[in-house]
């Protein structure tokens, strides 16, 4: 028996080695290595993943029969759906619609806009869906995409050529791309109209001011849209210059009201992001009905900062229906109604809006709860998963493969398979009981990020101990208490930074539970007596948490205990947070809403909301998010700013 177990362990080890070898070959696009190694994985738990890799690198040239055989061998797995999605994209590019038709019904994810566009294009070409309906859907999916994509561009191009898609949709795509600093996306859109315009868009993206000056003569019908793109691009770096060009030049006369309004929206947005008082003046020069939802969001934020509740209401009312239903704007619509001596009807309407989002689940839900006069408390825990429910998820092949991949260090692949299994493998995903059992298994395996992700998907049964786990509790609490920090804040920050993945590493080089940059770690270590810090020391959890909490404490002290400022500084740097606090004294929720960086704004909301939930779990007492937000304004402390703080 011992010999048999040793033989089995050796075979497993050899199989694991083969998996890692195949991963390297897949990344290097080495088809021969993949084909030669795949037979070694017969019967291995990760064989489906390896089989996907082997077929994916030769998908362009593989015979149809081989592809369909591989799909059959992968039946029921994430890797079947992933391979089918890749093949569908290839078939759409080749316009092999008969094969596309045969495979589309078996594609389960249905979450890739490019493939949805391709399916809509097929339906139009087959005459099964009216062109008007297809054009509406394709436009919606295409404008929502942030990156270059062939599927929607192909569909848009063919609908455009058939005059079922208006040219304005292409210009909208280009405008949004310029707003997002993605000129290559704008160029792809323009190429659908005229390749020469794509080259012009490239030049505009590089030097919009020169294009505007060069166009003082020879005005053509298409020039005005290109001028709009140039104004959008110029506004990103110099909104004052863009405003001068729009208002002082000939463009004020030659651009349509719609084009001018979009440009004023882009200018106002950039001014609002710079916290400039003239932002509302720019917004007022355009028509809200012609502005993008992102412009209107910044119009609302600038109005909140200026205390102009009527303008807040105007901006939200002009947003699209979906955007208006976002908890952000439901909360602020309620606040608008309560801002100035509301009537009984306005109060009741505001309370109805607040009740629709009140919960512990997110920042605005917590604010709404308090606005209704209620404290934030931990919701009752659902019944624990039964032995049968636990056993059922442990037998799920997708979850088993996901955990096996994670154990080999293939976290990205494992996460994708786990997420697919709990949310996309069956329509609507797992039910609440299955999710709770799967989350519990992830927690037991110390896969805290998957535990959180899975438990957050429950619709009714909310288990706060899964959504807000407390790994490394003794270490974190000890270090926080030693520094006079609130442990719930530290846990809230770790949950947002790393989801408790100990070897997490960001794209900029931050690492560990608290995602500390190497330079910041060395600077902090020197000041708390841990110098010299060796590179491997930051990966020791005790050392890492000691450094991370010490730095957080220094940041909080430098901002006089103002948590919104300190948390923003932890994410975006102290110098930016100092700059953003200048201006009027604001309630914390309004100040947070006006943080210029989307990533930092979302980060501050999540960390503070997390901390409220952690405090409730750890103390058993009602909590207040509004107290943590406080008020934010210019520095009044006599203590000098710590300009050395990285």
CATH code of the domain in which 484 resides: 1.10.530.10
413 lies in the same domain as 552: no
Residue 336 lies in a domain: no
Active site residue 599: no
Residue 323 lies in a domain: no
pLDDT for position 6: 40
Please say which residue of 439, 462, 485 terminates a domain: 462
**365 neighbors 375 (Cβ within 8 angstroms):** no
Residue 639 lies in a domain: no
Residue 333 lies in a domain: no
Burial profile 522-554: b = 16 or more Cβ within 10 angstroms, e = fewer: bbbbeeeebeebeeebbeeeebbbbbbbbbbbb
Token pair recorded at residue 320: 């699209």
Please give the backbone phi and psi of residue 352, each rounded to the nearest 5 degrees, phi first: -65, -40
452 lies in the same domain as 532: no
Residue 480 lies in a domain: yes
pLDDT for position 479: 97
578 lies in the same domain as 442: no
Among the listed residues 133, 73, 68, 124, the one whose alpha carbon sits nearest the alpha carbon of residue 95: 124
Distance from C-alpha of 525 to C-alpha of 599, rounded to nearest angstrom:
27
Among the listed residues 542, 485, 487, 482, the one whose alpha carbon sits nearest the alpha carbon of residue 513: 542
Please say which residue of 66, 94, 111 terminates a domain: 111
516 lies in the same domain as 621: yes
Cis (ω within 30 of 0) for the bond into 532?
A: yes
436 lies in the same domain as 506: no
Positions of the chain with pLDDT under 50:
1-7, 217
Residue 186 lies in a domain: no
Give the number of C-alpha atoms closer than 13 A to the C-alpha of residue 616, restricted to the C-beta side.
25
pLDDT for position 215: 60
625 lies in the same domain as 523: yes
* Long-range contacts of 239-244, Cβ-Cβ distance < 8 Å, separation of 24 or more: 239/267, 239/270, 239/271, 239/274, 239/276, 239/282, 241/209, 242/266, 242/267, 242/270, 243/267, 243/282
Domain that holds residue 52: 2-111
Please say which residue of 111, 126, 149 terminates a domain: 111
Among the listed residues 260, 277, 280, the one whose alpha carbon sits nearest the alpha carbon of residue 268: 280
578 lies in the same domain as 437: no
Indicate the number of domains in the chain: 3
Token pair recorded at residue 382: 């659902």
500 lies in the same domain as 455: no
508 lies in the same domain as 625: yes
11 lies in the same domain as 71: yes
Among the listed residues 226, 161, 228, 168, the one whose alpha carbon sits nearest the alpha carbon of residue 198: 226
**489 neighbors 563 (Cβ within 8 angstroms):** yes
Residue 170 lies in a domain: no
540 lies in the same domain as 626: yes
Given the residues 54, 413, 497, 593, select the one marked as catalytic. Answer: 497
Residue 302 lies in a domain: no
482 lies in the same domain as 597: yes
């Amino acid at each position: 028996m011992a010999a048999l177990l040793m033989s089995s362990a050796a075979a497993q080890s050899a199989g694991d080695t083969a998996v890692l070898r195949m991963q390297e070959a897949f990344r290097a696009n080495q088809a021969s290595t993949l084909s030669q190694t795949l037979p070694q994985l017969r019967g291995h738990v990760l064989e489906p993943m390896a089989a996907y890799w082997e077929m994916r690198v030769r998908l362009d040239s593989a015979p149809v029969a081989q592809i369909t055989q591989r799909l059959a061998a992968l039946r029921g797995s994430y890797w079947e759906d992933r391979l089918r999605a890749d093949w569908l994209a290839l078939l759409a590019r080749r316009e092999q619609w008969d094969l596309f038709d045969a495979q589309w019904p078996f594609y389960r994810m249905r979450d890739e806009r490019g493939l949805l566009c391709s399916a809509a294009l097929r339906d139009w070409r087959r005459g099964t869906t009216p062109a008007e309906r297809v054009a509406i859907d394709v436009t919606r999916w295409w404008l929502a995409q942030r990156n270059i994509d062939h599927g929607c561009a192909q569909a848009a191009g063919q609908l455009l050529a058939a005059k079922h898609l208006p040219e304005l949709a292409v210009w909208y795509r280009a405008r949004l791309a310029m707003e997002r600093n993605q000129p290559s996306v704008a160029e792809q859109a323009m190429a659908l109209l005229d390749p020469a315009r794509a080259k012009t868009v490239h030049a505009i993206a590089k030097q919009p001011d020169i294009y505007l000056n060069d166009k003082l003569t020879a005005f053509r019908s298409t020039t005005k849209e290109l001028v709009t793109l140039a104004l959008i691009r110029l506004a990103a770096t110099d909104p004052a210059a863009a405003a001068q060009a729009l208002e002082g030049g000939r463009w004020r006369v030659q651009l349509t009201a719609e084009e001018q309004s979009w440009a004023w929206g882009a200018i106002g947005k950039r001014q609002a992001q710079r916290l400039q008082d003239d932002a509302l003046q720019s917004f007022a020069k355009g028509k809200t009905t012609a502005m993008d939802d992102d412009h209107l969001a910044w119009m609302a934020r600038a109005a909140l900062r200026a205390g102009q509740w009527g303008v807040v209401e105007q901006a939200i009312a002009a947003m699209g229906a979906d955007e208006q239903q976002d908890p952000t704007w439901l909360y602020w619509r309620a606040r608008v109604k309560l801002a100035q001596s509301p009537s009984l009807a306005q109060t009741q309407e505001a309370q109805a809006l607040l009740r629709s989002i009140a919960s512990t689940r997110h920042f605005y839900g917590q604010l709404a709860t308090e606005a209704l006069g209620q404290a934030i408390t931990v919701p009752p825990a659902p019944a624990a998963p039964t032995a049968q429910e636990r056993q059922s998820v442990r037998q799920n092949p997708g979850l088993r493969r996901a955990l096996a991949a994670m154990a080999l260090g293939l976290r990205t692949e494992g996460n994708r398979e786990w997420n697919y299994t709990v949310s996309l493998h069956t329509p609507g995903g797992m039910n609440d009981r299955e999710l709770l059992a799967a989350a519990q298994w992830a927690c037991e395996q110390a896969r805290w990020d998957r535990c959180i992700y899975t438990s957050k998907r429950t619709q009714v049964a909310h288990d706060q101990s899964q959504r807000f786990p407390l790994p490394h509790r003794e270490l974190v609490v000890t270090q926080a208490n030693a520094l006079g920090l609130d442990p719930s804040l530290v846990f809230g920050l770790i949950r947002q930074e790393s989801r408790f993945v100990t070897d997490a590493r960001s794209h900029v080089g931050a690492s560990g539970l608290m995602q500390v940059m190497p330079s910041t770690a060395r600077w902090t270590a020197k000041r708390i007596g841990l110098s010299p810090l060796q590179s491997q020391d930051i990966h020791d959890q005790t050392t890492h948490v000691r450094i991370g909490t010490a730095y957080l404490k220094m940041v909080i002290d430098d901002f006089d205990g103002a948590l919104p400022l300190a948390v923003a500084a932890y994410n975006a740097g102290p110098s930016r947070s100092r700059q953003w606090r200048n201006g009027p004294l604001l309630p914390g929720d309004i100040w947070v809403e006006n943080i210029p960086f989307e990533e930092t704004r979302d980060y501050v909301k999540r960390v503070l909301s997390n901390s409220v939930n952690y405090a409730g779990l750890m103390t058993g007492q009602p909590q207040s998010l509004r107290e943590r937000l406080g008020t934010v304004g210019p520095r009044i402390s006599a203590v000098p700013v710590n300009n050395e703080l990285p």
